[in-house]
Structure 1
Amino acid sequence: MKLLILGGTEFVGRAVTEAALARGWQVTVFHRGQHAAPAGASAVRGDRTDPATLAALADSTWDAVVDTWAWAPTAVRDAARLLADRAGRYVYVSTGSVYRHPAGPGHTEASPLVEGSPDADAVAYAEDKRGGELAALAAFGEDRTVLARAGLILGPWENIGRLPWWLTRIARGGPVLAPGPRDLGLQYIDVRDLAEWVLHAAETGLSGPYNLISEPGHTTMGELLECCVQVTGSDAELRWHGPEDVLAAGLTPWTELPLWLPPGELYDAIHRGDPAKAHAAGLRCRPAAETVADTWTWLRKLDGPPPLRPRQPVGLAPEKEEAFLRG
């Protein structure tokens, strides 16, 4: 297989690149050069928002394209139009956020979607991703487009910082605020499982939308944080507190306490989707312990903090955690 990856050097794109190279595929990454391309990939330097550099892709052909773009849908539109006659299939890594709120527990690929336009400039994450979906469909058609609607993505090279924050915090040791309930189910996908499925979809000719995520309750807050304690070898003491206490203290779910959401509409949207279609089409999800251990191994190999995209920081400030635990 000849594969073109638009991006291919960070988190999801990097995982797809490395997985394709491991299969012996010919991989070309089109990127701006801010990060080194994985060894073995052919690199074409350019900015997809610049028509002059995007045109560098006009002289080749590929079996499939993988696109992880998350901003203005016009960038997907322009790339997909250029590549429609040069590639066999377009795999757009989208998001479960395209489902209209409240998505509700058990939402499927047929659930209502947010509005979006392929001709829009950047608006908001969900609308931008939906616009990207529509742009890919307009250029490649329904039979040649895969919409990989990923949920929460974890694993090595994570550039958001959610699991890395928990690992780093727990590695420091001492009392740790653990938001409960302890058996609260979590639904996510390891970036490497996402990558393997994306390549499987490209190779076998799948098309259409898929909720790319584990089964609900694939792990729990308790299991995940206990795995963090185990792999770091920390003396951390997890102190569990219920949602009522955490929210009453003014602590912010998801951002100050990464991954965690109290039961409710947002929790249902993030952690209770229906992934049956993707699992029937070959998706396999590794155990949480493996994701945690491999992410910790990656963190320990870094010379400094993990490379994060500029956005709202994640994680609870030490002084706020200490104040909460003092009660």
Structure 2
Amino acid sequence: MPPGRLGTMRLLVLGGTEFVGRAVVEAALDRGWEVTVFHRGRHAPPAGVTSLIGDRTTGPDGLAALATGSWDVVVDTWSAAPSAVRDAARLLTDRAGRYAYVSSRSVYAWPAAAGLAEDGPLVEGSPDDGDVPYAEAKRGGELAATAAFGADRTLLVRAGLILGPYENVGRLPWWLGRIARGGSVIAPGPSSLPIQYVDARDLAEWTLDAVSAGLSGPYNLISPPGHTTMGELLHACVRATGAGAELRWTAPEALVAAGVAPWSELPVWLPPGETYDAIHRADVSRAVAAGLHCRPVEETVADTWAWLESIGGVAPRRPDRPEVGLSPEREAEVRAALGTE
């Protein structure tokens, strides 16, 4: 399908008003692309787009706004029932050039081994599934997109941990909020522990570059091993907030013994072991070879803090995701268990 007028790419984003979808929209607008967003109308889309309202959760009838129109690229960030991806992809297959589905590294059979590449074993999934667990939902979405567009026109963006402005899960916003309050902060060690994540804006830029280049198939999309550490992330939070917080680095064994739930109560952090290997030791060589660039952690943290301040300091949270981080009461309990003040 030829590009739009004067060579401008025509992009349809299914979603496009929150976090990753919004990052994709803003990146495309910066490139001068013609952008259409299909969304439920719960959040205002960025200025400069064509807005179509619908609800994929209601079945094919909810896609009526997509009955006409053609695009060079579709980007889909859906993470619930695969049947919603199936219905949209089928509807668009003859009116769009390529389909990029933002999937997840959760599609790999658990536990994903350290250094696992895109040819690793996968969970079971079906494009016809309704409500299923996250991993199966993302795998079903991959299958749905590929069935409609074919392997040569489908890009599967298997993202890892995603951070950055507009985050609606709450991981980096929690750390920034806690450190901004100052005082002694439980810092999960070791500080030198490498972590992997991808800034939503870097994911967006890579995805648009990839579809422009005609790439297809699966790509693990997360920062290369060694991009940053837990210490660099939290020290960046201290610098960004300007708070008088004191990071009290605590050994992982002590935190586990105190009953702390890694990842959920202390976001991003996992103690060394099987789960850490699965989340923070991915092979991303294929994406790097295809142009993945990850901005410094300092920039991701500072920009996220600036965004939080611009909206009053309270980050939005997806209703389908649990709260993350230690509440003040829970933090006091952990301190007591650790024997610290």
TM range (shorter): over 0.9
Q: Which residue of 2 aligns with 1:12?
A: 20
What residue ranges of structure 2 are gaps of 5+ in the alignment? 1-8
Within 5 Å, which residues of 2 pair with 1:240-319?
240-303=249-312, 305-310=314-319, 311-319=321-329
What is the SS of the residue equivalent to 1:224? Answer: helix
Amino acid at match of 1:137: T
The CA distance in 2 between the partners of 1:101 and 1:325, in whole Å, is 32
Within 5 A, what are the aligned runs for 1:212-223? 212-223=221-232
Question: Matched residues in 1 for 2:284 and 2:67: separation?
Answer: 36
What's the CA shift string for 1:178-197, capped at 9, x where partnerless? Answer: 01011011001000000001
Counterpart CA distance in 2 for 1:254 and 1:154 is 14
Aligned residues: 327
**Deviation at 1:53?**
3.3
Aligned-residue sequence identity (percent) comes to 69
Matches of 1:324 and 1:304, distance apart in 2? 25
1:48 paired residue among 48, 56, 59: 56
> Within 2, Cα distance between the matches of 1:66 and 1:16?
8
1 CA distance for matches of 2:309 and 2:167? 14
Measure how far apart 1:264 and its partner are.
1.1
2:130 alignment partner in structure 1: 121
> Larger deviation: 4-13 or 44-53?
44-53
Find the aligned partners of 1:101 and 1:83 in 2 and give their Cα distance.
33
2:195 matches 1:154: no
CA drift of 1:141 comes to 0.4
TM-score normalised by structure 1 residue count: 0.98
Structure-2 residue corresponding to 1:131: 140
Q: 1:31 is matched with which residue? A: 39
Q: What SS does the corresponding residue of 1:80 show, helix, strand or coil?
A: helix
Partner of 1:320: 330
Q: In the alignment, what sits opposite 2:6? A: none
1:312 maps to amino acid: P
Q: Secondary structure at the match of 2:67?
A: helix
How far apart, CA to CA, are the structure 2 residues paired with 1:160 and 1:257?
A: 13
> Is 1:22–2:30 an aligned residue pair?
yes
Distance 2:241 2:49 in 1: 33
Q: Which amino acid aligns with 1:207?
A: S
Say if 1:176 and 1:304 are closer, same or farther in 2 by CA, change over 3 A: closer
* 1:213 to partner: Cα distance: 0.7
- Deviates further, 312-321 or 191-200: 312-321
1: distance between equivalents of 2:311 and 2:57? 31
Output one character per residue of 1:63-101: Cα deviation in whole Å (capped at 9) or x when no partner. Answer: 010000000000000000000001000000000000111
- Rounded to whole Å, the distance in 1 between the matches of 2:313 and 2:249 is 30
Q: 1:48, CA displacement in angstroms?
A: 1.8
Match of 2:248 in 1: 239
Q: 1:173 to 1:304 in 2, by over 3 A?
A: closer
Contact 2:177–2:313 (Cα < 8 Å) also in 1? no
**TM-score scaled by length of structure 2:** 0.94
1:317, CA displacement in angstroms?
1.7
- Structure 1 unmatched runs, 5+: none
Deviation at 1:320, TM superposition (A): 2.7
Q: What displacement does 1:58 show?
A: 2.1
Classify the secondary structure of the residue corresponding to 1:258.
Answer: coil
- Asked if 1:193 corresponds to 2:202, the answer is yes
Alignment RMSD (CA, Å)? 0.9
Amino acid at match of 1:315: G
Write the distance in 2 (CA, Å) between the matches of 1:19 and 1:259.
25
CA contact (8 A) 2:151 2:217 kept: yes
| 1:238-262: CA deviation from partner (whole Å, max 9, x where unpaired) | 0011111000011100111000001
Q: Structure 1 residue 304: deviation in Å? A: 5.3
CA-CA distance at 1:49 after TM superposition: 2.8
Paired amino acid for 1:234 = A
Tell me the SS of whatever aligns to 2:141: helix
Q: Tell me the amino acid that sits aligned with residue 32 of structure 1.
A: R
AA partner of residue 335 (structure 2): L
Structure 1 distance, partners of 2:165, 2:276, is 24
